[in-house]
Amino acid sequence: MEEKEGHTLDGTVNLNGGPVLSSTTGKWKACVFILANQLFERFAYFGVGANLVIYMTSELHKDMVSAVTSVNNWSGTAWMTPVLGAYIADSYLGRFWTITFALLIYATGMGLLVLTTTLECFKPTCRNEICKASTTQLALFYVSIYTIALGSGILKPNLSTFGADQFDDFRQKEKVFKVSFFNWWFFNTACGTLAATLFLVYIQERFGWGLGYGVSAIGFLLGAVTFFSGLPMYRHKPRHSKSHAKEFFRVPIVAFRNRNLHLPSNPSELHEFALEHYIAAGRRQIYHTPRFRFLDKAAIKSSRTRYESNAPCTVTQVETNKAVLGMIGIWLLTIIPGNFWAVEVTMFVKQGTTMDRKLGRNFEIPAASLWGFVVVTILICLPIYDCCFVPFMRRRSGHHRGLKMLHRVAIGFSIQVLAAAVMYVVELARMDVIREKHITTGAEVVPMSIFWLVPQHVLLGLANTFIMGGLLEFFYDESPEEMKVLGTAFYTSTVAAGKYSNSLVVSVIDKFSRKISGNGKSWLGNNLNDSHLDYYYAILVVISALNLGIFLWVQRRYIYKKENETPVNGIEILKEET
């Protein structure tokens, strides 16, 4: 019995499939290597992406519209491919080997990028002052950056999920530590991002692109070496089946076939295996919840069994589908808030270029540098949230997280609405100065300090402190045990959805404003000194406030999934409220 108690209670194993001791594996001693890899990986990724549009226009000699479109497509790919990474991990390779596979792809992309930006034969040639990259040069460059996007996308959901796997949910102390892990995950993400945007951008423009991307590659290599250094201390979640897709889609099919059958009023009359079955299989039984009742018909015992596909599903199978449907509903309500992640690096930058950016006599602040206030705010607020706010709320509420996950996200969305209102007011003030000084051209500098934009950056940084960690924690926790990486991919796809939806919103506003203006003038023209950016911000305030209202209504009624709290070794422990 003592030997069993020394092992993890959640069924985690070592790389060879053997049981692992709780005292010598996992927890923070393992997560240090994972968090360090995240820091270096974000340093490498943003070292490539932060200045990519400048590289395309200055070195590849692409026009601005084409360059911006290319960067958006590349960024969208990097944030959508986590779905592929989740599928590979959950269905075939598992977390660790998928991470290894992703790092190999990533390394290939980084190596190709350094070569294409360093060797003269891969650089565009200039004749008669006309510079143009050849088809081969462009192809190699795009292959390199899209290989990086693929590797980064596959890595994203698996690395954070693998880090969370290092904490045993059946040990109360480790369960509390897991809450802190997600906060420190984003702290390291912010550190890597800030280092890249402050230092690598300078190296690229001052000393050369090849050297800048070379430093990114070295950072990535350090991260990979650090990750594999922690191998003896890692815990691994075993996989129990090859693919969950067939089982997932069978539930609605069986429910539809049983649509005319009577649904028992007592959930105990539905088909379900005994708890011992799940313990023996090393899986978790999910208890019945009253949401999405139409799916319960898939678990009616009296359903036809002539064909195997008509056999009743278990309550756990049905609840797996319910959990995913619940996450999809929350995911849809993150699309509007996700617009702000795009606004931070587009409209804010364009707005800042019109304002007074002088700091002293000879130094002019790059407009894009103000994004650092978002990152710095996160770096300051996350430790305060984790070390002060969570313990305080834990004493007040008795909840081990301090706040329920969706309550935390709701606070972040509320701060976003406030930030949008501030954006609108500041733009009104900028337009008042424009009218007062009779400024008409885009080349004229508005005599208004760029530091007027700092409050909205700080507010969005504070909002991200609540939103980013809260969403990642929610999608991880609410995912069924065998689909944890897919849950994390839900989070990463919110970023991509926010970027794409922002492009759609901007496009709709542009076409609508041109149509109603009579002279084809857009509210979001190239000359912001003669446009109506304030209308755009006002629309963000309205749609964000409406989205917040719907989210508050949904989160109050959201039913969290309920799993059995019996460890795989059969030792009973007390079940805690989610």
**Could you give the C-alpha distances from 131 to 128, 177, 576, in angstroms and in order?**
8, 55, 65
- Give strand pairing partners of 286: 563
Say what the pTM is. 0.76
Residue 491 has pLDDT above 60, yes or no: yes
What is d(CA 259, CA 257) in angstroms, rounded to the nearest whole number? 6
Q: What is the CATH number of domain 8-241?
A: 1.20.1250.20
Confidence band (pLDDT; 50, 70, 90) for 571? very low
Residue 38 has pLDDT above 50, yes or no: yes
Cβ distance 335 to 425 under 8 Å? no
- What phi, psi does 130 have (nearest 5°)? -110, 115
Instruction: Give the chain's mean pLDDT.
Output: 82
Q: How many CA atoms lie within 13 A of 251 on its CB side?
A: 23
Confidence band (pLDDT; 50, 70, 90) for 456? very high
Residue 310 has pLDDT above 70, yes or no: no
Q: Given this chain, do its domains 8-241 and 335-563 carry the same CATH topology?
A: yes
Residue 103 has pLDDT above 90, yes or no: yes
Cite the beta strand spans of 59-182 per DSSP E. 125-127, 130-132
Residue 212 structure tokens:
């800048």
CATH class of 335-563: mainly alpha
Percent of the chain past pLDDT 70, that is, above it, reads 89
Q: What residue ranges do the domains of the chain occupy?
A: 8-241, 244-323, 335-563
Between 222 and 398, name the one with better pLDDT. Answer: 222
Confidence band (pLDDT; 50, 70, 90) for 3? very low
Residue 371 has pLDDT above 90, yes or no: no
